[in-house]
Chains A and B, each alone.
Chain A
């Protein structure tokens, strides 16, 4: 049976798409973004064992096979393990089948509008998601994909079938800046932006505005605004240093983007035709 690494499931979320949604966060990501707030979701655990002894609750152990395992009942959610992990991974991951995830969704079903898959990068589990969405759709729930855009949707459009669409992060439009920021030139992201818009599956786009990065911010916002027009909401997000890994905080700054500065870019986007641009 198909299983996927689940970092966590949030039963009721008001920030992962419209209405009240159950959000499923998968472990593992295709990028390594400097500003990531949940860097422990980037890689899969290598069972190096470093975190095991430091767990104050005895929730971590190394099995006979050398694999590190996690006991969700004993865990007190102190986050010591993820702070210690040198590999941007987490031991708190559960491999779940579609059926197991659906059990949780069914419980939430009377109270939610739909579900959202996020991460990490959820498209690493595209096959799993396709099955999950088919099941959730049977319950009358809408399905959204929250993606960094590294997945080739044009080649594998199956996952979009039962989905309202993709909430796409476009972090940088310039290749060099993209390489610095997310350790990827971002060609696929830009391709997806155009492709998803073309087939009506672009649900929303998000761009983070960094303090003092006038040229980079403007280039990305212009690029996105011209491509999407008024087809979907464009969320302008302020950079916040909270939770960002220290080494990157030094590069990106320790201040959050102030609201007036972010507003300038929302205005720019609206001027360029992205009428649904706003700061969140």
Chain B
């Protein structure tokens, strides 16, 4: 049976999902973009992974349009005037979103919704504004059917922000993913607490370390897709990843790995990125003809390449001959310190590499702790996370995270699952978030045990939708299938629950 036939006979795919799968298949028929033999060899061994980005990139992986420009100038291509009221504003956004490409063909960044919409919301009566925003969210959930669709709020409190939280709780939607940009000086405890309450009921928003991102990107940064830091008016060209465990398999010792195998693999991934970035900019149409570019919603110089890594934990455990994960990375000082050495080595080599384009970042790529894909199974934990199931106490897990998060301007994060009594004590969670962000955590996600909407590795899925797929029914959401894979292969929903943490004293 041909691949195409497989796709069109798969009962779990919706029409649109079939279309995207067929497009991907079509793309794979071309092989004009070639890499070195060493690259293919490393890829075959699983040490490098292109995240199925497709062999012919015809758009950057992630695009973060400047929606403020849409609101101030309108869009000629889409024949949209600057909106004059709330209805026009959400209508303009809904239309615009349908024309923002990405790796998934869904927009990965919906804008800083509270900041964009607040001027319109404050002119309306609250109930009316809530009704309009509710329909807006419903439109996003049913049209942009992909959990990598992401909206940002904060750092300041606003009526729009509050309404979005209220609606998120009431509607229990998996899309969009939401992030609060948290700044201890700009975000009130009251607003942050409202976000914690919403998170316990819906697994969102997550909390981003606003100060850390501003330092790296300036004020105009977006959190897109899972948890990816990028420039507004820019984005990410490509995101391949080193699968560090597989990269280490041929190393004779930790030093041998850091001196020989690691640099070799880094260079292969850089080669891959350079070629792809050049191809996207020089060969494909996107930066030449797409209205997003020609009308200035994105600028090519604001894009960068995202250098991804996964499986640091397994890599360190392997190099140190640690077989019992419970005594390995995250719990074991030696393994964690080796992890830091490895990250420093990666950071150094990548930052010494002169990348094509990426002008806004002095021609440098930026590191990304990739969140894992369903096929990773238990071999490579997401980014620098401690393997699921062996997490130490929450405090210890945070302390480890705080060491690694600063390495990743283009995103990293960890997820904490709270036991049910926390629904009554959200004020017990806020100090944990504030404390960890102040100590260098970049991104905090949490959810309550037994909720329907849960966070898998970075994105949200409904457990009830996973059950639909198991019953061979279709799920509207594109990523439900990843959620099922991550649950089966990576036990992603079995992470440690925060309740009574005991330290051995």
CB neighbours of A20 from chain B (8 A): 428-432
Interface centre among A8, A20, A72, A104 (most CB of B within 10 A): A20
| 0 or 1 for each of B369-409: is its CB under 8 Å from A? (1 = yes) | 00000000000000000000000011100110000000000
Give the residue of A10, A107, A111 whose beta carbon is less than 8 angstroms from that of B500: A10
State whether B505 touches A96 (Cβ < 8 A).
yes
Give the residue of B399, B431, B502 whose beta carbon is less than 8 angstroms from that of A113: B431
State whether B503 touches A11 (Cβ < 8 A).
yes
State whether B503 touches A9 (Cβ < 8 A).
yes
State whether B421 touches A15 (Cβ < 8 A).
yes
| 0 or 1 for each of A1-34: is its CB under 8 Å from B? (1 = yes) | 0000010111111110011110000000000000
A110 in the interface, Cβ–Cβ < 8 Å?
yes
When chains A and B are docked, how far (Å) is the Cα of A18 from the Cα of B434? 16
Query: What are 27 A-B pairs with beta-carbon distances under 8 A?
Result: A8-B502, A8-B503, A9-B505, A10-B501, A10-B502, A11-B395, A11-B501, A12-B393, A12-B432, A12-B501, A13-B500, A13-B501, A14-B429, A19-B425, A21-B428, A72-B505, A75-B504, A77-B502, A96-B505, A104-B503, A104-B505, A107-B395, A107-B399, A108-B395, A111-B398, A111-B436, A113-B431
A73 in the interface, Cβ–Cβ < 8 Å?
yes
State whether B438 touches A110 (Cβ < 8 A).
yes
Give the residue of B422, B438, B439, B503 whose beta carbon is less than 8 angstroms from that of A14: B422
| 0 or 1 for each of B408-439: is its CB under 8 Å from A? (1 = yes) | 00000000000001100101111110111011
CB neighbours of A112 from chain B (8 A): 431, 435
Q: Say yes or no: A12-B439 contact (C-beta < 8 A), given A75-B504, A104-B503, A111-B432.
A: no
B498 in the interface, Cβ–Cβ < 8 Å?
yes
Q: Which 4 A-B pairs have the closest CB atoms?
A: A111-B435, A14-B428, A110-B435, A14-B425
| 0 or 1 for each of A108-124: is its CB under 8 Å from B? (1 = yes) | 10111100000000000
CB neighbours of A125 from chain B (8 A): none
B438 to chain A, nearest CB (A): 6
Name A residues whose Cβ lies closer than 8 Å to a Cβ of B. 6, 8-15, 18-21, 72-73, 75, 77, 94, 96, 100-101, 104, 107-108, 110-113
CB neighbours of A72 from chain B (8 A): 504-505
CB neighbours of B394 from chain A (8 A): 11-12
Residue in B closest to A103 when the chains form the complex, CB atoms? B505
B336 to chain A, nearest CB (A): 16
Interface centre among A12, A96, A101 (most CB of B within 10 A): A12
Beyond A8-B503, A14-B428, A20-B428, 5 additional pairs, beta carbon < 8 A: A12-B428, A101-B505, A104-B503, A110-B435, A111-B432
State whether B503 touches A15 (Cβ < 8 A).
no
CB neighbours of A6 from chain B (8 A): 505
When chains A and B are docked, how far (Å) is the Cα of A21 from the Cα of B500? 11
A92 to chain B, nearest CB (A): 9
CB neighbours of B501 from chain A (8 A): 10-13
Residue in B closest to A9 when the chains form the complex, CB atoms? B505
When chains A and B are docked, how far (Å) is the Cα of A77 from the Cα of B503? 11
CB neighbours of A11 from chain B (8 A): 393-395, 501-503
Range for the number of chain B residues in contact with chain A: 20 to 34
CB neighbours of B431 from chain A (8 A): 19-20, 111-113
B436 to chain A, nearest CB (A): 7
CB neighbours of A15 from chain B (8 A): 421, 425
When chains A and B are docked, how far (Å) is the Cα of A20 from the Cα of B431? 7
CB neighbours of B399 from chain A (8 A): 107
Give the interface SS of chain A, mostly helix, strand, loop or mixed.
Answer: mixed
A168 to chain B, nearest CB (A): 20
Residue in B closest to A107 when the chains form the complex, CB atoms? B395
State whether B504 touches A73 (Cβ < 8 A).
yes
When chains A and B are docked, how far (Å) is the Cα of A6 from the Cα of B399? 24
When chains A and B are docked, how far (Å) is the Cα of A240 from the Cα of B422? 20
B170 to chain A, nearest CB (A): 25
B304 to chain A, nearest CB (A): 32
When chains A and B are docked, how far (Å) is the Cα of A133 from the Cα of B502? 21
When chains A and B are docked, how far (Å) is the Cα of A112 from the Cα of B501? 13
CB neighbours of A13 from chain B (8 A): 428, 500-501
CB neighbours of A10 from chain B (8 A): 500-503
CB neighbours of B498 from chain A (8 A): 12
When chains A and B are docked, how far (Å) is the Cα of A37 from the Cα of B99? 60
Interface centre among B427, B438, B504, B505 (most CB of A within 10 A): B505
Interface centre among A11, A96, A107, A110 (most CB of B within 10 A): A110
CB neighbours of A75 from chain B (8 A): 504
8 A Cβ contacts from B466-505 to A: 498, 500-505
When chains A and B are docked, how far (Å) is the Cα of A21 from the Cα of B425? 12
CB neighbours of B500 from chain A (8 A): 10, 13
When chains A and B are docked, how far (Å) is the Cα of A100 from the Cα of B498? 24
CB neighbours of B504 from chain A (8 A): 72-73, 75
When chains A and B are docked, how far (Å) is the Cα of A21 from the Cα of B427? 11
CB neighbours of A100 from chain B (8 A): 505
A205 to chain B, nearest CB (A): 19
Residue in B closest to A111 when the chains form the complex, CB atoms? B435
CB neighbours of A113 from chain B (8 A): 431
8 A Cβ contacts from B222-242 to A: none
Interface centre among B428, B430, B435, B498 (most CB of A within 10 A): B428
8 A Cβ contacts from B303-337 to A: none
Residue in B closest to A12 when the chains form the complex, CB atoms? B501
B441 to chain A, nearest CB (A): 10
B432 to chain A, nearest CB (A): 5
When chains A and B are docked, how far (Å) is the Cα of A197 from the Cα of B422? 29
Residue in B closest to A15 when the chains form the complex, CB atoms? B421
CB neighbours of B428 from chain A (8 A): 12-14, 19-21
Give the residue of A18, A77, A110 whose beta carbon is less than 8 angstroms from that of B439: A110
Residue in A closest to B427 when the chains form the complex, CB atoms? A19
A132 to chain B, nearest CB (A): 14
When chains A and B are docked, how far (Å) is the Cα of A134 from the Cα of B245? 48
Q: Say yes or no: A8-B432 contact (C-beta < 8 A), given A14-B421, A110-B439.
A: no
When chains A and B are docked, how far (Å) is the Cα of A11 from the Cα of B434? 16
CB neighbours of B425 from chain A (8 A): 14-15, 19
When chains A and B are docked, how far (Å) is the Cα of A18 from the Cα of B427? 8
A276 to chain B, nearest CB (A): 15
A111 to chain B, nearest CB (A): 3
Residue in B closest to A113 when the chains form the complex, CB atoms? B431
CB neighbours of B505 from chain A (8 A): 6, 8-9, 72, 94, 96, 100-101, 104
CB neighbours of B502 from chain A (8 A): 8-11, 77
CB neighbours of A9 from chain B (8 A): 502-503, 505
State whether B503 touches A111 (Cβ < 8 A).
no
When chains A and B are docked, how far (Å) is the Cα of A14 from the Cα of B421? 8
When chains A and B are docked, how far (Å) is the Cα of A15 from the Cα of B500? 9
When chains A and B are docked, how far (Å) is the Cα of A13 from the Cα of B502? 10
Residue in A closest to B393 when the chains form the complex, CB atoms? A11
When chains A and B are docked, how far (Å) is the Cα of A20 from the Cα of B438? 16
Residue in B closest to A13 when the chains form the complex, CB atoms? B500
Residue in A closest to B419 when the chains form the complex, CB atoms? A14
